[in-house]
Structure 1
Amino acid sequence: MALREENFVVLHSGSWSTKAGINVVDTNNTPSVLIRSLVGVRTVVPEVADMIEAEDATSATATTQAVDKEEADAAVAVDKTEQEDETNEASQDKSEDQKEDLDQVQEQDKEQDSTKPQTTYYSGSALTEAMQQYPASELSVASPIQDGVVKDWGAMEALWRHVLFKELGIKRSRNASPVLMVVPTAWTKEEHERITQIFFENFNVPGLYLAEEPLMTIYGCATLTGLVIDIGHNSTEITPILDTQIQHNAIQTIPLAGADIDAYFLELLKADAQLVREYGAPLDLEFARHLKESDVCQVLGKDEKESKTRAQAEYNGKKFTVGSARYKLVEPLFNADLVGKRVLNIVEAINAAQLNCKADKRQSLWDTMILTGGCCRIRGLQGRIRSAVEESMSISENFGDWQGRDVKFLKMPEYFPALKDSTVHAGFLGSEIVAKLIFPDPRNYINKVDYNEAGPSVVHTKTF
């Protein structure tokens, strides 16, 4: 089966959001699907009365079938005695009876299944409706991915199913859309196999390719070497890549990320008495997150000073002003003690990742740093990281050929005007580019023939 670019799918699920798109003919587009990685799970246990009723119905059905069978046997005996010349007609009737019996058995099985607990998953707009319809005691809502690891595979599959068949409109029975699945570097071989099995057996995809997220990010920034700083929701990962080879031994992952910024920023906002008075309602994490992602916040550079003028802001139809808290929200990244964590800060983690690479390769990494993740949109954060890293580098007065002196951050290529303003979608762009290169040739990805011959383990020999 020939695969067409308009059917190619790129799918990326993180602990905070899931992004996806179909049709890579034009790669100068943001993801067409961008939803929270939340899944609602509702399990309904049948009432005792319903179970008894179902059992009675099953018993009655069995009794009726037995009586009908005796009457049918008697009728057949009479017919056999009186009408021996109608053998063909009797044979046809028997065939129809067998079909009817089979239908009854299937219906009986269905009734028996109705006595078991039924689990329903909700994602996207369906989850929003379910949250309005059912109380919190009946509907549990969480991300299937916790701390970078899939905790609930049933919910994970439900989220992917929603994206493919609801959001992208793919038909499972005649699925002609190969999927490039972006995965974190920390996911294991067992998780790769499970993904492969789900997509081929449950989603009927014609092809699959698994790609590691940091590698897709440097491709999106038009380079083959780089130091990817990905500030996620629960953790920040610093990944050195040299000539397309991820240096797994040098990867640094720290539990300082967007969630810590949100919590710290919320406390700063609550301490702003004027803001609390003007807003007139309790402040929560969604409030802090909204301000973080707006133009209100800014990280000051070394020579910049805070404005004494309060910034105007709006949320849920209410207008208010924000004070100096808008300049301090990212401080936990540089001082973990502020959020009660004794871990490396982001600068120390960057230096540790560099030191675990060969000395003659470090300068190339300093020159090709990439800041990505949701927090990369905060104005001034990239400059603050650059200044802090350069300060830590200047401690040594003996500069050698391999001693770094300054750092440079890459941007998205200018020839992608819809994406060039932020590196938040660098990984998605890189994935689209890779999809255009690999899917036209069946030797480059896992196809149905490969899966049927080798099973899920084929993912270890035909990907990355």
Structure 2
Amino acid sequence: KGEYAELGPIQDGVICDWDSMEVLWHYILYEQLGWEKGEEETVLISERVLSSSKLQRELMTQIMFEKFNTKGVYMADQARLSLGSYGKVSGCVVDIGHGKMGVSCVVDGQLQQPSSESLLFGGEEFTQFLREAVQRRNGRQYTEKNLADLKHDCMEVCSSAQAYLSECESREEREHDLPDGTTIKVGKEFVQAGEMCFQPHRFGYKCMSLVDVIQTSISHTSIADLNMKRLLTESVLITGCGSVVKGLEQRVQTELRKLFPPSYNPSILRRPEYMPVTVPMHSAWVGGFIEAKLAFSQNQHITKYDYDEYGPSIVHRKTFL
């Protein structure tokens, strides 16, 4: 919002501008959540273990206690929180975020760190691809809001690689009206962007496809129980800003069923009908809201006493990552 929308302290899940991060946290905590000086509350911080580091966790802990005078801090992995928003404790979480796509497995509420994998691109690369294609087609530049609306309204994934080729050959240019009244010509670029997940080599990325990364993540879990590995394939949760792309869930499920033995039945966890359609995009926040109530009421968090006694390193002993 306003000047804060220009801040970009996080790159690929890593805080790279701590001053801007502090400004953003201050805005969220005091201006949006209504904290008062001297009456600060507790804070739950979600993060991707794969992107974070011990130093980053220590700095976050230090800032929360020393700059924001918080009463307590609790850190949790985003994958576990996302599953919690669906009432699950085991599953394979695919997080299609702004910076990168990450895949992690959780078993009985415990993150399987050896299973954590990531791709070289994410929502930001989708946006950049569409920005260049749309500007070439229309001969003008568009705002970030225009591009975000376009990505939400028009981006889609074809049902198969063959369907993708057919769609690229047959899709005709059409006009699309955005919420602000802007009319934009769109074409095959919106299925091309979606295909990046499944054929990244076509777009210059030397990495595995999304479904190959999911298979690798499940195979790298530290558990030997084949029944649990089967359960992981049957509990794949797609979250993040890219989770609402049309056709994505069905294509992932179809491709996974080609990779696993017939005795497996790879399935995508679907959003319950009673949940708002935006929940998959914000499932880590929803899961954090649920877990925070339990964690702080049961004193599982890092207290001010803990911090004063042991310093920032306490985060490595008293955290749930």
TM-score range, shorter chain: 0.7 to 0.9
Instruction: Please point out which of 140, 148, 154 is paired with 1:281.
Output: 140
Letter in 2 for 1:381: L
2:312 equivalent to 1:453: no
Q: Tell me if the contact between 1:144 and 1:155 (Cα under 8 Å) persists in the aligned partners.
A: yes
For 1:461 and 1:288, locate their aligned partners in 2 and report how far apart those are by CA, in whole Å: 43
Letter in 2 for 1:382: E
2:115 equivalent to 1:255: no
Q: Which residue does the alignment assign to 1:424?
A: 281
Instruction: Please point out which of 155, 173, 182 is paired with 1:297.
Output: 155
For 2:317 and 2:184, locate their aligned partners in 1 and report how far apart those are by CA, in whole Å: 57
- Residue pairs, 1:84-95, within 5 angstroms: none
C-alpha deviation, 1:411, in angstroms: 2.7
Higher relative contact order (CA 8 A, sep 6+): 2
Q: Tell me if the contact between 2:77 and 2:111 (Cα under 8 Å) persists in the aligned partners.
A: no
For residue 194 of structure 1, give the secondary structure of its aligned residue in structure 2.
Answer: helix
Deviations 1:368-390 (A, max 9, x none): 00001101111111111111222
Q: Which residue does the alignment assign to 2:20?
A: 155
C-alpha deviation, 1:421, in angstroms: 5.8
What percentage of aligned pairs have identical amino acids?
Answer: 27
2:66 equivalent to 1:204: no
Query: Greater shift after overlay, 319-328 or 199-208?
Result: 319-328
For 1:383 and 1:281, locate their aligned partners in 2 and report how far apart those are by CA, in whole Å: 34
For residue 250 of structure 1, give the secondary structure of its aligned residue in structure 2.
Answer: strand
Query: Greater shift after overlay, 229-238 or 182-191?
Result: 182-191
Deviations 1:5-38 (A, max 9, x none): xxxxxxxxxxxxxxxxxxxxxxxxxxxxxxxxxx
Distance 1:339 1:381, change over 3 A: same
Q: Which residue does the alignment assign to 2:246?
A: 379
Instruction: Please point out which of 50, 54, 67 is paired with 1:189.
Output: 54
For 1:293 and 1:420, locate their aligned partners in 2 and report how far apart those are by CA, in whole Å: 13
C-alpha deviation, 1:199, in angstroms: 0.8
Q: Tell me if the contact between 1:260 and 1:339 (Cα under 8 Å) persists in the aligned partners.
A: no
Instruction: Please point out which of 411, 414, 417 is paired with 2:270.
Output: 411
- Residue pairs, 1:3-82, within 5 angstroms: none
Deviations 1:143-196 (A, max 9, x none): 111122111222211211111111212112222x21111122132222222111
C-alpha deviation, 1:423, in angstroms: 1.3
Deviations 1:260-299 (A, max 9, x none): 2222233443454xxx2xxx633576543320112x3332
For 2:23 and 2:136, locate their aligned partners in 1 and report how far apart those are by CA, in whole Å: 41
Letter in 2 for 1:353: S
Letter in 2 for 1:424: M
Query: Greater shift after overlay, 305-314 or 372-381?
Result: 305-314
Q: Tell me if the contact between 2:173 and 2:186 (Cα under 8 Å) persists in the aligned partners.
A: no
For 2:66 and 2:195, locate their aligned partners in 1 and report how far apart those are by CA, in whole Å: 46
2:11 equivalent to 1:146: yes
For residue 256 of structure 2, give the secondary structure of its aligned residue in structure 1.
Answer: helix
Q: Which residue does the alignment assign to 2:79?
A: 214
Letter in 2 for 1:408: S
For residue 35 of structure 2, give the secondary structure of its aligned residue in structure 1.
Answer: coil
Letter in 2 for 1:345: S
Q: Tell me if the contact between 2:4 and 2:24 (Cα under 8 Å) persists in the aligned partners.
A: no
Q: Tell me if the contact between 1:377 and 1:422 (Cα under 8 Å) persists in the aligned partners.
A: no
Distance 1:338 1:309, change over 3 A: closer
- Residue pairs, 1:116-131, within 5 angstroms: 124-127=1-4
Highest CA radius of gyration, 1 or 2? 1
Deviations 1:370-425 (A, max 9, x none): 0011011111111111112222336xxxx5xxx52x311113444xx353564112
TM-score by length of 1: 0.62
Count of matched residue pairs: 310
For 2:82 and 2:26, locate their aligned partners in 1 and report how far apart those are by CA, in whole Å: 25
Q: Which residue does the alignment assign to 2:186?
A: 322
Letter in 2 for 1:460: H
For residue 243 of structure 2, give the secondary structure of its aligned residue in structure 1.
Answer: helix
TM-score by length of 2: 0.87
